[in-house]
Amino acid sequence: MRPLILVTNDDGIYAPGIKFLAQVAAQFGDIAVIAPDKPQSGMGHAITINSTLRIQKTDYHNASLEFACSGTPVDCVKMAVNHLLQKKPDLVLSGINHGSNSSINVIYSGTMSAAVEGSLEGAPSIGFSLCDYSIEADFSQAEKFIQHIISNALKNKMPSGVCLNVNIPKLRAEDIKGIKVVRQSKANWVEKFDVRKDPYGRDYFWLTGEFVNFEPEAADTDEWALNNGYISVVPTQTDMTAHKYLNELKTFE
């Protein structure tokens, strides 16, 4: 029996990135696409609890099951696994995101939060992102690597509760050096609010920021891998406990 692969994203069900990912996934199994009906970038692990959800059948991906959902990426995974699908997916794929989700971006990213939610639902899950924000980004350059990663995830059981954060550098196929399994870089965003006046003279704000890598030389990190021509794969989990400080912080007891 062909595996059941759930495909979702955060750029919305009509984004080129998910179109490409669904096509690659269809080489490996039956695909179900349940994704947001509009862009949901930066939604992190948000879920919809103060309002209601809608779903709408679509046929953009020629999938066996396909719905646009009014909620967040995490809502989409919950809706798929707990309501729309007849059985648990063998693999959850999220992306391909238009833009990087390396390093600290993992906690802001709707793409990665969907993958994290997949792993919480007990399914092997992978989030893919291409370091190119353009709507015309060329996802095909990394196709053989994406195939390799999907194929490997289907063949080798992934550790329970762990998903993969895969980021792809913006390079031509022949310039991608390979895949590196690495840790999340220590980095951060330094924000700047762009203040503007609306036509009525009132201030409004755009959130903007600059990415700062605190350890650019650390070769075991995703940022280093990406900056040196590699696809980065970070095993990602949901225990946020800072285990090494448990003892030190007993002072709070």
Site for a copy of itself in 136-175 (CB under 8 A): 148-149, 152-153, 156, 158-159, 161-162, 164
218 near a copy of itself (CB under 8 A):
no
Residue 44: CB atoms within 10 Å: 17
Nearer to a copy of itself, 141 or 184 (CB): 184
**Dihedral angle sign, alpha carbons of residues 244, 157, 110, 209:** positive
**CA proximity to 13, closest of 76, 91, 85:** 76
The span from the CA of 36 to the CA of 76, in Å, is 7
Selected range binding a copy of itself among 1-9, 26-34, 59-67, 78-86, rule: CB under 8 A: 78-86
Q: Compute φ and ψ for 21, nearest 5 degrees.
A: -65, -40
Nearer to a copy of itself, 62 or 193 (CB): 193
Selected range binding a copy of itself among 29-37, 90-98, 129-137, 233-241, rule: CB under 8 A: 233-241
Nearer to a copy of itself, 23 or 70 (CB): 70
134 near a copy of itself (CB under 8 A):
no
**Least CB distance from residue 32 to a copy of itself, whole Å?**
16
Helix axis angle, 143-155 to 16-25, nearest 10°: 50
Asked if residue 190 lies in contact with residue 137, where contact means CB atoms within 8 angstroms, the answer is no
182 near a copy of itself (CB under 8 A):
yes
How far from chain centre, in Å, is Cα 130? Answer: 10
Per-residue string for binding with a copy of itself, 84-123, x by CB under 8 A? --------------------x-xxx----x--x---x---
Asked if residue 186 lies in contact with residue 163, where contact means CB atoms within 8 angstroms, the answer is no
The span from the CA of 177 to the CA of 175, in Å, is 6
Nearer to a copy of itself, 62 or 208 (CB): 208
234 near a copy of itself (CB under 8 A):
yes
Helix H, strand E, coil C: the string for 163-216 is: EEEEEECCCCHHHCCEEEECECCCEEEEEEEEEEECCCCCEEEEEEEEEEECCC
**Least CB distance from residue 78 to a copy of itself, whole Å?**
5
Nearer to a copy of itself, 135 or 207 (CB): 207
For a copy of itself (CB under 8 A), the number of binding residues is: 81
Scan residues 17-56 and list those touching a copy of itself (CB under 8 A). 39, 41-50, 52-55
The span from the CA of 4 to the CA of 55, in Å, is 20
**Least CB distance from residue 120 to a copy of itself, whole Å?**
6
237 near a copy of itself (CB under 8 A):
yes
**Least CB distance from residue 193 to a copy of itself, whole Å?**
5
